[in-house]
Structure 1
Amino acid sequence: MPRAAVYIRMSTDDQTGSPERQRSQVLPYCQRKGYEVVEVYQDLGMRGSDSSRPQFQRLLQDAQKGKFDLIVVDEQSRLSRDDTVEYMATVVHPLRKVGVFVEVVDTGRRLTWDRDDLGGQLLAFLGQYKAADESHTLGRRTATGMARKACEGKLFVGRAAYGYRYKLDAGGNRVGLEPDADAPGKVEVVRRIFDGYANRDLSLMAVVAELNAFGVPSPHGRQQWGKNTVHNILTNHVYAGSYVWGKVKQGKFFRSDGGEIRPTQKKANKSERTSSESWLVIPGQHEPLVLPELFDLVQQKLASNRSRTSPSRKKASYPLSQLLRCAHCGVPMYGTKQMSGGVKQAIYRCGSYFTQGRCGPRTVNERVVIEQIAQVLQSRLLVPAERERLEAEVRRQAEQRSGPDEQTVKGLRMKQAKLDANIAKATDNLLLMDADLIPTMQAKIRQWKQERATAQEELDRATRQSPAGSVAHVVGKVEQLVEVMKAGDPALVRTVVREAIERIDLRFEAVKKAKLTRYPLSGGVVHLRASASEDSSRSGRAAAR
C-alpha cells in the first residue's frame, strides 16, 4: 500500500481554503486510491510564497528520509505559490531526487516531473505559473485594499500605541483608538515625557534617567527605558490625536509608497522604514493624550537638537555642552571625563580635533572655565560704566531689527500664493482622477498645506515687531548667572546658562615646549542673550570679553 503524506495550508488572505474543507477532499481521495496516510502536515496563516513555512520544511525533510512515497494536496497552489524558477529549486528538485511525487485532488493529476514525460512537465509548470500569478494578484489586491482603508482612517494593525487601546465594535472589530482606561498610569507617563522634554528642558537621556529612577516599566515590560523608546513616543503623531499609516513599507509583491501602490523591488528588505514626508497623517481621529500645540513644539525642539555636532552623549552631565566653541575652528567643544590627580574631572575638548583630526588638541577644565566666566561677567557687566555700554549695544541692535526684511516677506507671500494655486487645482482635479491615483494626490495636497502653514509661521515671525531687550532684565540674568556659577550646581548652571548665554567662544595659545605643543586657555568671548523672548532666533546679543 503506497504511503501518503497529506499537506494542508491556509493563508490569511484566502479564508475559503479552510483546513476542514481541504481535509474533506484529500482524506476521502486517499481512501479511494488505497493510500495509507502516514501523517498530515498543516501550515495555518502562512502564504504559499513563503518557503520558510515550518511544516512545509518538515515535509521536505521527511521526504528525504523516505517516510512516504507521495504527497497529496487539494490544489497545486496549496503546496507552493513560488514562481516557476523558485518552485523548481525548493520543491521539484528535492522531491524528484528521492522519487517522491505529488498528486493534486482537484485535477486528479500526478506530478512526477519524469524527464520522459514532457507534456506532464509542461502541465505542472503551467499550473505552478498560474498559482504564482494568482499570488501576485492577491498581493496587489490586498495592498490596494489596505491603502484604501488607511486613507479612510479605518485600518488598524499591530499593537495599539503605549497608553492607548483599540475600540471594538459589537463584532469585535477594531474601529479606533481610545486612552487605556485599564492603565491610566501609562497615559500619565506619556504626558510626563512630553512635559519633561518641552517644558522642563530635559534631554532625551534625562527623560530616560527620570523614568528609570521612578521605576516605570517600559512599553515592552522591561525595567529600563531607552533613548529610542522615548524618541519614538515623542515623534508619534498618534499622541496628538492623529491617525498614522505608512511608517513601514512591507509586502512581498506590492508596497505602499507615499500612498501609491508599487511593485516591491527584487532585493528589498522584508520591511523598510519610510521618511515622515510619506506618512499618511489624518488629524483629529481620536482623543489626544497631549495637545497638538505641545506635540508641534516638541517636533521643533527635536529638529533643532538634531543639528547639534557635539558628540557628547551625556549632555545633562555637562552644563556648558553646545555652548562652548573653539574660536579657532568654530566647532562646538564636547564634554568628557579625564583623570587628574587620581580624580575624574569634567573637561571640554575641541570637537574638530577629536572627531576629524583637524584644529588642535585644545582642552579646558570645566571648573576653571566656569570660574573665569563668572569673574569676567561680574567685573565687566555689573559695574556702572559697563552697564552704560551694554545699554547702548542693546539699543543699537533693537534699531537694526526695527523693521521686517521686505525681500523675505515678498518671497514668502509669493510662495503662499503658489501653494494656494497648487492646492486649489489639485482639489478640483480629484474628481477626474483614476481611483488608484487619488491617494497619491491627497498625500501631495496634505504636504502642500503643511508647507503653506510653515510659510505662514515664517511670515508671522518676519513681520512681527520685536521689542527692544531690557537692559535691567539682562543685568538681572547676569547677576543670577554669576551667583549660580559660583555655587557650581551643574543642573542649575545648565538651566540658567541657557537663558542668559547664546554661546562662548574660547581662544587658546599654542605654547611649544621641547617636542610638545600645549594649548592653554588665553581668552574668549561670551555672547549674551539680550532678550528673554520665546523666539530666541530674534534675540539680541551682547558680548563680554
Structure 2
Amino acid sequence: MTYNVGIYARYSTEMQSEASIEDQVRVCERLIQGREWQSLKVYSDQGMSGSTHLRPGYQNLLEDARKGRFEIVVAESLDRISRDQEHIAGFHKIMQFLGIQVFTVSEGLISELHIGLKGTMSALFLKDLADKTRRGLEGRVRQGRSGGGKAYGYRVLKGDERGGREIIQEQAETVNRIFSEFVIGMSPNQIAHGLNNDQVPGPSGGLWRDTTIRGHIKRGTGILNNELYIGRLVWNRQRYVKNPATGKRVSRRNGIDSEVIHDVPHLKIIDDALWQSVKARQRAIWKATEFDVNPDKTPPYWTQRRATHILSKRTFCNHCGGSIISVGKDYLACSNARKLKTCSQNKSIRRPDLENVVIDLLKYQLMQPAAVSEFITEYNNEIKNQRSTVSKERAKQEKYLRDIELKLSGLYDAIADGLRGAGLQSKIDAMENGKAELISVLESAAPATVSLHPALADLYKEKIGKLANVLKDPKICDPAKLLIRELIARVDITYNGTHWDISIKGEISALVSLAQNAKSPPKGGLNHYALVSSTKVVAGVGFEPTTFRL
C-alpha cells in the first residue's frame, strides 16, 4: 500500500536563506525514498517563529490533514513543526485522532516520549536564546550603541562603528518643530496635519499620524516621549509577551530597576527647557490621578479633549452657581435650569456674543495707551539704570586689569635685573591667570538691551484690533485661545430682564484694572491680585462693554 505524505518545512528569521526550505525538503524526500510512500505536497513557512501556530503553511497542513489528503507527515525535526510545548502536544493529539503518523528525519516515528522531551528542550532553547540576546543587547546599550530599533532623527552606523548612531540634521529640525508646536498649544493631530501638508516624510517614509507623535508617556514611545532626543539612551523600559490565544505580542511595562540608562550627549537634539515644557503640558492634559495610579491606562478620550471655545468649562450661572452648557448650535444656558429644573434662569445666550464681550475687553480695555506709554517710560528708565551699573562694573574691571599689568611689568623688570626669590614664579603665574580671566570677561560682548519704541502703544492697539481675525486663523487659533483661557478663571452671567450682567474673574480682570487705575501692580504681584479681583461687564444689545469696576 502506498501512503501519501505531507512534508512540512520552516525557517525562523529573514536572515536565514530561502535555500533552507529546499534543504529541509531534500532530506525529507530522502527519508521517503525506498519506502512505499509518495510525496503529495510541501507545506512551508518562511521567516516565521516556531513559537506561534498562526502560520499559513502550518494551518494549511492541519486543514488538509482533516480532509484526509495524506496519511503521514514528515519534517526535518520536531522543532520545525513547533517549538511551543502546548502547540506540539496539540498537534500530536490531532494527528493521532486523525490516524496520521508523524515522522522526522532526526527522531524517526514521533511518540509521546518525543513530545515530552523535545517539547521541553525546544522551550528551554527559546528561553536560553532570549536571555543571551538580551544580555548581548544590554552590553551594547551600556557602550552607548543601539539596542535595536530605529529612532526618527538618527541613522545607525555600519562598519567599525556598527551600532552607533548619528543625527540626521533635516529630521532633527522636524523633531524640534514638533516639540515647539506642541508647547505652543497645537495637538498631535494638528502637528501631523501640518507636516503632511508641508510634505515632510514620516518615520517610515509615508504620512505622519498623531499616534506617532503622541505615543505613550509612561512607556516612552512616540516622538514627544523619546528621551534619546535629550541625550539619554533608555533600554528595557518595556517587554513583549505573546498572547497564547492570538499569538500577538503585547507590551508590558518593566520596573524602573530593570531599565538601563546611558548618557549620549552627542545625540542630543532637544534642549532641556523645551523638553520640560512638553512634559509640563502633557501632565496638564492627562488627569493627574489616572496618570499616577495607573500609568498603563490611557484616560478616556473626553478627559483629554481640548477646549474648542474660549469660555469652555469657564462659564457659570450667577443665579444658582450651576454650569453653563451648550443647548444647541452656538447657544448656552444654565444646566440646572435646562436639566434639573431647579433654576429659574431659563434664557439662553449666544456663544459668539458672550465671547465677543471677552474679545472686546481685550481689544479696547486691556491696556489704555496712557498706561502703555507709562510702562515704556519706566522700562527705558530701568534699562538706563542697568546700563549705568554695567558701565561702572566694567570700569572697575578695566582699572584692576591695568593695575595687574603694571605689577607684572615691575616683576619682570626685577627678574631681568637678577632678582630671585622663593615663590616669585608662583605669584607671577597667579597674576597672569587673573589677567587672562579679566581679559576674557572684558572681551565678551555685553548682552544687548532692547528699548521699547515710544510708538509701541499705537502698534499694540493695531495688533489687538486684529485679535478677532487672529482667532479665526486655524494655524494659531488654538495657541491663542489657550493663552486667553489662562487669563480667565470663571465667567458668571445673569439675565436681569433687560440685559445680561457678565462678571469676569481671573488675571484678565487684574490686567484691565491695572490699565485703568494703576501704574504698577499691587503688592503680591499680578497673580495674587488676580485671585481676589474681578471685572463686571454690564452688556445689553450688541454686548458692548459699558462699565468696568472692581
Identify the residue that residue 250 of structure 1 maps to in structure 2. 240
Q: Which residue of the partner structure matches residue 163 of structure 1?
A: 153
Match of 2:75 among 73, 76, 98: 73
Matched residues in 2 for 1:235 and 1:276: separation?
18
Q: How does 1:121-160 map to 2 (within 5 A)?
A: 121-158=112-149, 160=150
The 5 Å alignment of 1:36-185 reads 36-83=38-85, 85-89=86-90, 91-107=91-107, 109-111=108-110, 120-158=111-149, 160-169=150-159, 175-180=163-168, 184=170
Distance 2:229 2:119 in 1: 47
Q: CA shift at 1:53, angstroms?
A: 1.9
Code of the residue aligned with 1:282 in structure 2: it is H
User: Structure 2: 5+ residue runs without aligned partners?
Assistant: 215-221, 289-300, 373-455, 512-519, 536-550
Alpha-carbon distance between aligned partners in 2 of 1:30 and 1:110, rounded to the nearest angstrom = 13
1:303 alignment counterpart: 283
Is residue 8–residue 73 contact of structure 2 (8 Å, CA) maintained in 1? yes
**Residue 103 of structure 1 aligns to a residue in which SS?**
strand
The answer to whether residue 267 in structure 2 is matched with residue 282 in structure 1 is no
1-structure distance, mates of 2:191, 2:202: 13
- Give 1:445's aligned residue: none
**Aligned partners of 2:213, 2:106: CA distance in 1, in Å?**
54
User: Matched residues in 2 for 1:511 and 1:267: separation?
Assistant: 64
Give 1:293's aligned amino acid: A
In the alignment, is the contact (CA less than 8 A) between 2:50 and 2:83 conserved in 1? yes
Amino acid at match of 2:505: V
Q: Aligned with 2:106: secondary structure?
A: coil
Larger CA Rg, structure 1 vs 2: 2
CA 1:175–1:128 in 2, change beyond 3 Å: closer, same or farther? closer
Secondary structure of 1:301's partner? Answer: helix
Post-superposition offset of 1:154? 3.7
Matched, 1:214 2:198: yes
Give the paired residue count. Answer: 412
Which secondary structure state, in structure 2, belongs to the residue aligned with residue 228 of structure 1? helix
Q: Partners of 1:139 and 1:266 in 2: how far apart?
A: 21
Moved more, 291-300 or 129-138: 129-138
**Which SS does the other structure have where 2:487 is aligned?**
strand
- Cα separation, 1, equivalents of 2:252 and 2:457: 49
Query: Does the C-alpha gap of structure 1 residues 141 and 380 become closer, same or farther in structure 2, counting only changes over 3 Å?
Result: closer
Distance 2:500 2:197 in 1: 38
Give, in whole Å, the separation in 2 of the partners of 1:541 and 1:82.
69
8 A contact 2:141–2:235 mirrored in 1: yes
Q: Which residue of 1 aligns with 2:229?
A: 239
Partner Cα distance (1:58, 1:280) in 2: 43
Match of residue 480, structure 2, among 495, 517, 530: 495
Question: Which ranges in structure 1 are unaligned for 5 or more consecutive residues?
Answer: 112-119, 253-263, 340-344, 388-474, 513-519
Q: CA deviation at 1:485?
A: 7.8
Counterparts in 2 of 1:65-464, with a 5 A limit?
A: 65-83=67-85, 85-89=86-90, 91-107=91-107, 109-111=108-110, 120-158=111-149, 160-169=150-159, 175-180=163-168, 184=170, 186-198=171-183, 200-222=184-206, 225-231=208-214, 232-246=222-236, 248-252=238-242, 270-272=249-251, 274=253, 280-284=260-264, 286-307=266-287, 313=305, 315=307, 318-321=309-312, 338-339=328-329, 345=330, 364-373=349-358
What CA distance in whole angstroms lies between the structure 1 residues aligned with 2:335 and 2:495? 17
CA distance in 1, matches of 2:205, 2:322: 41
The 2-side partners of 1:64 and 1:362 are apart by 73
Shift of 1:300: 1.9
Q: What value does the CA root-mean-square deviation take over the aligned residues?
A: 5.4
Structure 1 CA distance, aligned partners of 2:246 and 2:40?
39
1:175, CA displacement in angstroms? Answer: 0.7
Deviation per CA, 1:199-258, whole angstroms, max 9, x where unpaired? x443444434433443444445555x4432332322222333432334542134xxxxxx
**Identity over the aligned pairs, expressed in percent?**
23
The one-letter amino acid of 2:62's match is L
Distance 1:248 1:524 in 2: 51
Whole-angstrom CA distance in 2 between matches of 1:240 and 1:230 = 16
Aligned position for 2:505: 526
Instruction: Say whether the 8 Å CA contact 2:310–2:485 is kept in structure 1.
Output: no
1:283-318 deviation per Cα after TM superposition (whole angstroms, max 9, x unaligned): 326533333432232222222233599869564x63
- Checking the alignment, whether the CA contact within 8 Å between 2:145 and 2:165 is kept in structure 1 is no
In structure 2, distance between residues paired with 1:358 and 1:215? 54
Cα pair 2:4 2:70 within 8 Å, conserved: yes
Contact 2:327/2:333 (8 A) holds in 1: no
Residues 314 and 66 (structure 1), Cα distance of their counterparts in 2 relative to 1, 3 Å cut = same
Following TM superposition, by how much is the alpha carbon of 1:155 offset from its aligned partner in structure 2, in angstroms?
4.5
The structure with the largest strand share of the pair is 1
Indicate the SS of the match to 2:506. Answer: strand
SS at match of 1:175: coil
The one-letter amino acid paired with 2:10 is R
Change (3 A) 1:15 1:320: same
Aligned-partner Cα distance in 1 for 2:341–2:350: 21
Q: What code does the residue aligned with 2:8 have?
A: Y
Distance 1:163 1:76 in 2: 44
